[in-house]
Amino acid sequence: MSKKTLFLVVVMAMLALAAFGCGQQQAEQPADNNTGTEEQQFDGEILVGIMVPTTGSEATYGKDMENAINIAADQINAKGGVMGKKIVTVTADDACDPQQSASAANKLISQGVVAVVGGYCSGATIPTLTLYNDAKIPFVITAANSSKIETENPGNAFETNGTAKHQVEKAIEMWTNGGVKKVAIVHQGDAYSEDLAKMADTEWKAAGNEVVAMEVMNKGEQDTSALVTRIKAKNPDLVFWTAYFADGGLLIKQLRQSGYTGKIMVGDGSCSPQLIEIGGTATEGVQVLSSPIADYLPAAKQYVEDYKAKYSMDPGPYSALAFDGLGILADAMTRANATDFDAVVKALSETKDYQGIAGTTTFAENHTLATSNFMVVEVKDGKFVLVQ
């Protein structure tokens, strides 16, 4: 074969390969774009911030809330968005830390969000209230519930979780029905747990009962023997832990190891499977105050299936409230036919009988829930079981 002939063969082969390659790319193109549903056409975007802890000891909660909000965004967008605009979310990590939460808020503000959904730790949420208000940004808070949020709310924030007052009312109902008279309370000095502890102390005493101990456990404290000894010496009928699961599981374990056999109840900040993982069998019989848990909500059945399908895990205790939080915001924007601050805040304040997967939401004049949504679960055989 001459060099000229060889050259022509090579060129023809290269052209054939190129033609095959283009044909293959064209054949695959429709498969890449075909999602099985007609792609929505939107007239712009609405940028919504998600402020939750994605690092630190409470990151499990934060990631769950973020997941829930993003599922809500997907479903809203699948129905045409809000006023024909697509909901787009951006997340900022507050790490459940007051200083980092301020940075997270400023990050979201600088990115141009028109509203924020989230807020898990009260201590991290409170410093951001004024920041968002000054930036003319409505804030739908889906977990944090210290009474300080109510007293320091400049008017832009709305709480979808039950308040500390609601939580204490549910606790006292359970204690009274359970024959409890003497209670020992343990908190960690942060805005959420101290507020809940002080309110429980006041209300339990007002009902004619005893608070035999009011103790503080330092965050991350590994040896609680001195604390446990003081509690046992007071012989309480019940120990009420008002802080978060990471240290709560350890305290419960050491209480049981010390021989304490009385009742134990924990606040909603400890409503996590990780409480059971940390405390082990010592958590058996522990009662847990909780926001509406998706697994026990008939209206959340499809949501639970969607969540598991997308994230290959069960939704957490604040998942339903986080999902509803974006829904409530979208509903307010739709009713206002606007995304500007004054119109959305007004529409949010007028929210009445919003039907979400976590139940019905109506905001009171102070922007908290008009009625309590707390439930009680108990650890049985290593799992949470609904009590009330």
pLDDT digits over 110-122, tens only?
A: 999 999 999 999 9
Mean pLDDT of the chain: 91
Q: 23-27, 100-104, 240-244, 364-368: which range is least confident on average? A: 23-27
* pLDDT attached to residue 6: 38
Cα separation of 155 and 381, whole Å? 44
Cβ(184)–Cβ(236) under 8 Å? Answer: yes
Whether residue 189 is predicted with pLDDT greater than 90 in this model: the reply is: yes
State which H helix or E strand residue 122 sits in.
Answer: helix 122-125
Cα separation of 81 and 84, whole Å? 5
Cβ(121)–Cβ(53) under 8 Å? Answer: yes
DSSP 8-state assignment for residue 62: H
Q: Is CATH 3.40.50.2300 what the domain over 45-162+295-373 is classified as, yes or no?
A: yes
Cα separation of 172 and 229, whole Å? 25
Sign of CA dihedral 169, 174, 177, 180: negative
Whether residue 4 is predicted with pLDDT greater than 90 in this model: the reply is: no
Whether residue 18 is predicted with pLDDT greater than 70 in this model: the reply is: no
| CA Rg value for the chain | 26
Whether residue 353 is predicted with pLDDT greater than 90 in this model: the reply is: yes
Count of beta carbons in the 10 Å neighbourhood of residue 164: 26
DSSP 8-state assignment for residue 369: B
Residues ≥6 apart with Cβ < 8 Å to 316: 60, 61, 64, 65, 272
Condensed to tens digits (0 to 9), the pLDDT of residues 129-153 reads: 999 999 999 999 999 999 999 999 9
Tokens of 193: 């747990």
Question: What are the C-alpha distances in Å from 106 to residues 109, 111, 122, 138, 191?
Answer: 5, 9, 18, 14, 21
* pLDDT attached to residue 159: 98
Q: Where are the domains of the chain?
A: 45-162+295-373, 165-290
Sign of CA dihedral 329, 333, 335, 340: positive
Tokens of 201: 């102390």
User: Phi and psi (nearest 5°) for 223?
Assistant: -110, 105
Mean pLDDT of 91-119: 98
Q: Where residue 365 falls among pLDDT bands split at 50, 70, 90? A: very high
* pLDDT attached to residue 40: 77
* pLDDT attached to residue 388: 80
**For 165-290, CATH number?**
3.40.50.2300
Cβ(95)–Cβ(124) under 8 Å? Answer: yes
For the whole model, what pTM was predicted? 0.85
In this chain, the answer to whether the domains covering 45-162+295-373 and 165-290 adopt an identical fold is yes
Instruction: Label residue 376 exposed, middle or buried (CB < 10 Å: 0-12, 13-18, 19+).
Output: middle
Sequence letter at residue 38: E
DSSP 8-state assignment for residue 47: E
User: Phi and psi (nearest 5°) for 268?
Assistant: -65, -20
* pLDDT attached to residue 177: 97
Cα separation of 113 and 90, whole Å? 8
